[in-house]
Structure 1
Amino acid sequence: MLKQRIQDDVKAAMKAREKQRLGTLRLITAAIKQREVDERIELNDDQVLAILEKMIKQRRDSIAQYQQAGRDELAVQEQSEIEIIQDYMPEGLSTEEINSLIEEAIASSGASAMKDMGKVMGQLKPKMQGRADMGQVSALVKQKLSG
């Protein structure tokens, strides 16, 4: 299980005195625990991946804001956190695989216009969770449905 792997890596980072890695791993475990306590559930791997994906998205947004503000040292910090978090994400999909899955979802849902976007994204999300930037996927779907 992914959660156990993260907990084991926290211990390893403590022993190796890897402060930055340990800090990021603690942020991950805190986010997982927060959701488990709030919802009174034990998270499965898909739910942990959703948390990790959200953390990466938040950091990408922060990087853009830091760069606009000229705070490059903070942008570098956020980027290094993204790299640590991505260690726990499944292998990413190639552009060809993403396009193929989008075409397949559009065909199987019978989508023909922008109003069908929700149907298409509903099919794509479980297949692509943690393996593609869903913001980019959404933009590609919009492009194909409006074209």
Structure 2
Amino acid sequence: MSMQEDFRAGLKVAMKARQKDKVGAIRILIGEFQRQPEKELSDDQVIAIIKKLIKSERELLAAAGEESSGFLVEMEAFLPRQATEEEVREWVGANIDFAAFANKMQAMKPIMNHFGSSVDGNMVKKVLLSL
């Protein structure tokens, strides 16, 4: 079952359990799915939509001077497990030869290709700058 189908099924469960924040988050996600040109989305596309909504919510919260919201907590829970900074450092240390690149930031592409959607680009940038 795809993530998109999981959310449709999860909406019914959340509604029956009266989980207000979760129902709201899933409804927003389903609305975003329907705005896409394709009706059936891949899991990577679903994850990209979730990340976009998280980024937007963080920007709104920062503008309002708040730290978190129920919506943000629910959206982050929908993401698959993210790679930790230590995991990225280990992989970079074992697999990246910085002599092959003009500068450290050029190593972003192979790192992002390896980790895919399980890592945040800003975190990888922070790791590279600290090396």
The TM-score with structure 1 as length reference comes to: 0.72
User: Residue 54 of structure 2 aligns with which residue?
Assistant: 56
Q: Which residue in 1 is equivalent to 2:45?
A: 47
- Structure 1 counterpart of 2:126: 139
Shift of 1:133: 2.6
Match of 2:33 in 1: 32
Aligned pair count? Answer: 130
Q: 1:49: how far off?
A: 1.0
Q: Which residue identity lines up with residue 55 of structure 1 in the other structure?
A: L
Structure 1: unaligned runs, 5 residues or longer: none
* Contact 1:53–1:130 (8 Å) recurs in 2: no
Structure 1 window deviating more from structure 2 (99-108 vs 25-34): it is 99-108
2:18 pairs with 1:17? yes
1:56 and 1:89 map into 2 onto residues whose CA distance is: 10
Q: Is the 8 A contact 1:93 1:131 kept in 2?
A: yes
| Aligned counterpart, 1:128 | 115
Instruction: Show structure 2 runs of 5+ residues with no match.
Output: none
- Cross-structure match for 1:65: 63
Query: What amino acid does structure 2 have at the position aligned with 1:27?
Result: I
State the TM-score, normalized to the length of structure 2.
0.79
The offset of 1:34, in angstroms, is 1.4
The aligned counterpart of 1:111 is 101
Measured in 1, the distance between the counterparts of 2:53 and 2:125 equals 18
* Percentage of pairs with the same residue: 23
- CA change 1:88–1:95 in 2 (3 A) is same
Summarize the Cα distance change of 1:41–1:121 in structure 2 as closer, same or farther, 3 Å threshold.
farther
Q: 1:47 and 1:125 mapped to 2: Cα distance?
A: 16
Query: Paired residue for 1:94?
Result: 84
CA RMSD of aligned residues (A): 2.5
